[in-house]
């Protein structure tokens, strides 16, 4: 039996890959699943306007996505609250067949985004090794490469490659028991099972068996384990058990094992197999990726527009896609041609404004304080202890780096308790240098930056 929330979650995953981020966030992800009525999925829209937008634009994609995961769902119906009483009795839990593409593991059904395949992954110098390793593992799990550790910056394709492995394994080795989790999911489940264990003595055991009976275990974003000792211990044991039984393990992170703030023995384990990094792609590869995305989403954009995007955004493919989507949705909105350079310029001006709006000096200060666990008053105050000075300097560096000349150094000095602008410059330059020579500082700056951008 599958709960309606579970069903909807899987359909969302499928839909996300097929729609623009904007449409997904604005419309689709706000719908609430009500239940299944015969062969239909009933969704509730908050307003009549939203219902109309979805009905006019996104019904097909919803229907196709639903059907591709759950073949017995033939249609999708969007209703508003006032129509609720007219809907017959809907089922909120159903015994529903799942498409062969997906493993039906009752609650913990693994679904891989169908668009994240090797075919849709553009290979260049920056990622060819990682891609080759991923393909080798997909063709021959528990072979030469075990464990596999993929690492690279945000939005460079780690999750895409893991799903590509998953999609390929499910097709070629349907009998294998494959699991993909984000590290965060694993940690949350672990914490829940500890809590549940008081009332249900089997909770912990169930959790352990689930992970230790796998043939292939994939865990995304393992940097999330930093500072979580209990979960690290659990992973360590899971890892050992799977590894000794010659099961395939694939991990990803935004940094190499040695730079993750975890127990030494776990770092060593993570690094025993193959470590493959993904770097930001070069210009040609970025353009090729944009072309591929255009093909799969049915956009018709000239090389000129794609080059413009690829030149503006150099180290995050997800952001590049965001800009691409932005141009399409803006041109649709104003009824213009997305290849008209004036339209493109307008779309991107708004885009830049929107993203600049989000980050202010306060955001940066808040993120730094949270990260180092220091009070704002201390951060901007006079204390000279190391625990305060380093966060202060990093914060100043980030303000200068992110906000650029929009906030004059004198103003930053005033904010930091009336310090001289030369003090601000000194802090900025010191951290900037240190980022190049000191891994710890570089990692801290990166963490806070990610926090600021909400990644």
Tokens found for residue 286: 């970025």
Residue 149 in the binding site for ligand ADP (CB under 6 A): no
Identity of the residue, 159 or 325, whose beta carbon is nearer to Mg ion in the bound complex: 159
Residues 260-289 that bind ligand ADP (CB under 6 A): 289
Within 13 Å of residue 444, how many CA atoms lie on the same side as its CB? 23
Tokens found for residue 338: 């997305």
Residue 321 in the binding site for ligand ADP (CB under 6 A): yes
Q: Taking the complex as a whole, how short is the minimal distance between the CB of residue 159 and ligand ADP, in angstroms?
A: 3
Check: CB of residue 76 under 8 Å from CB of residue 43: yes
Which DSSP string do the residues of 309-369 spell out, in sequence order?
A: HHHH--S-HHHHHHHHHHHHHHHHHHT--TT-HHHHHHHHHHHHHHHHHH--HHHHHHHHH
Place of tokens 């694993």: 186
Among the listed residues 12, 91, 154, 407, the single contact to ligand ADP using CB under 6 A: 154
Binding region for ligand ADP (CB under 6 A) out of 54-62, 316-324, 374-382, 422-430: 316-324
Cα gap 79→47, rounded to integer Å: 9
Check: CB of residue 46 under 8 Å from CB of residue 77: no
Within 13 Å of residue 299, how many CA atoms lie on the same side as its CB? 26
Among the listed residues 20, 120, 159, 393, the single contact to Mg ion using CB under 5 A: 159
Check: CB of residue 293 under 8 Å from CB of residue 263: no
Residue 253 in the binding site for ligand ADP (CB under 6 A): no
Residue 223 in the binding site for Mg ion (CB under 5 A): no
Binding region for ligand ADP (CB under 6 A) out of 8-16, 120-128, 229-237, 260-268: 120-128
- Per DSSP, the chain holds a count of helices (H) and strands (E) of 20, 10
Identity of the residue, 51 or 255, whose beta carbon is nearer to Mg ion in the bound complex: 255
Among the listed residues 59, 135, 208, 318, the single contact to ligand ADP using CB under 6 A: 318
Tokens found for residue 207: 């959790």
Q: Taking the complex as a whole, how short is the minimal distance between the CB of residue 41 and Mg ion, in angstroms?
A: 28
Q: Taking the complex as a whole, how short is the minimal distance between the CB of residue 154 and Mg ion, in angstroms?
A: 7
Residue 159 in the binding site for ligand ADP (CB under 6 A): yes
Residue 157 in the binding site for ligand ADP (CB under 6 A): yes
Binding region for ligand ADP (CB under 6 A) out of 51-59, 79-87, 223-231, 314-322: 314-322
Check: CB of residue 347 under 8 Å from CB of residue 332: no
Task: Give the CA distances from residue 190 to residues 196, 205, 215, 229, in Å, rounded to whole numbers and listed in that order.
Answer: 10, 11, 20, 12
Residue 253 in the binding site for Mg ion (CB under 5 A): no
Residues 100-119 that bind ligand ADP (CB under 6 A): 116
Residues near Mg ion, by CB under 5 A: 158-159
Residues near ligand ADP, by CB under 6 A: 116, 120-122, 127, 152, 154-160, 289, 292, 317-318, 321
């Amino acid at each position: 039996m599958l709960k309606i929330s579970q069903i909807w979650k899987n359909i969302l995953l499928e839909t996300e890959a097929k729609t623009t981020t904007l449409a997904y966030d604005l419309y689709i992800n706000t719908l609430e699943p009500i239940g299944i009525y015969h062969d239909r999925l009933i969704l509730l829209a908050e307003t009549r306007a939203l219902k109309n937008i979805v009905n006019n634009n996104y019904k097909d994609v919803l229907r196709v996505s639903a059907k591709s995961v759950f073949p017995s769902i033939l249609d999708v119906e969007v209703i508003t609250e006032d129509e609720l009483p007219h809907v017959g009795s809907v089922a909120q839990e159903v015994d529903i067949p799942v498409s062969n593409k997906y493993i039906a593991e009752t609650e913990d059904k693994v679904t891989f985004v169908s668009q994240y395949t090797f075919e849709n992954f553009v290979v260049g110098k920056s990622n060819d090794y990682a891609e080759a390793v991923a393909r080798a593992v997909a063709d021959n799990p528990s072979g030469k490469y075990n464990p596999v550790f993929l690492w690279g910056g945000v939005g460079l394709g780690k999750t895409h490659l893991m799903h590509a492995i998953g999609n390929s394994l499910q097709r070629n080795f349907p009998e294998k028991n494959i699991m993909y989790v984000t590290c965060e999911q694993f940690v949350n489940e672990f914490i829940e099972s500890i809590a549940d264990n008081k009332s249900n003595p089997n909770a912990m055991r169930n959790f352990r068996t689930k992970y230790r009976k796998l043939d292939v275990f994939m865990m995304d974003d393992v940097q999330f384990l930093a500072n979580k000792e209990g979960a690290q211990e659990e992973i360590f044991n899971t890892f050992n058990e799977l590894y000794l039984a010659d099961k395939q393990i694939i991990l990803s992170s935004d940094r190499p094992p040695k730079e993750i703030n975890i127990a030494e023995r776990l770092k060593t384990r993570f690094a025993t197999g193959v470590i493959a990094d993904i770097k930001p792609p070069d210009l040609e590869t970025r353009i090729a990726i944009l072309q591929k995305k255009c093909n799969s989403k049915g956009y018709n954009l000239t090389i000129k527009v794609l080059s413009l995007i690829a030149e503006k955004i150099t180290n995050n493919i997800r952001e590049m896609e965001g800009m691409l989507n932005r141009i399409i949705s803006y041109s649709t909105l104003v009824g213009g041609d997305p290849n008209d350079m004036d339209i493109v310029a307008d779309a991107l001006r708004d885009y830049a404004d929107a993203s600049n709006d989000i980050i202010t000096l306060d955001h940066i200060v808040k993120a730094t304080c949270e990260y180092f666990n220091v009070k704002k008053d201390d951060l901007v105050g006079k204390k000279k202890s190391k625990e305060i000075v380093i966060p202060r300097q990093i914060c100043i560096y980030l303000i200068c780096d992110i906000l650029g000349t929009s906030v004059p150094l004198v103003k930053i000095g005033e904010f930091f308790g009336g310090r001289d602008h030369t003090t601000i410059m000194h802090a900025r330059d010191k951290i900037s240098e240190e980022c190049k020579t000191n891994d710890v500082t570089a990692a801290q700056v990166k963490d806070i930056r990610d926090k600021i951008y909400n990644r």
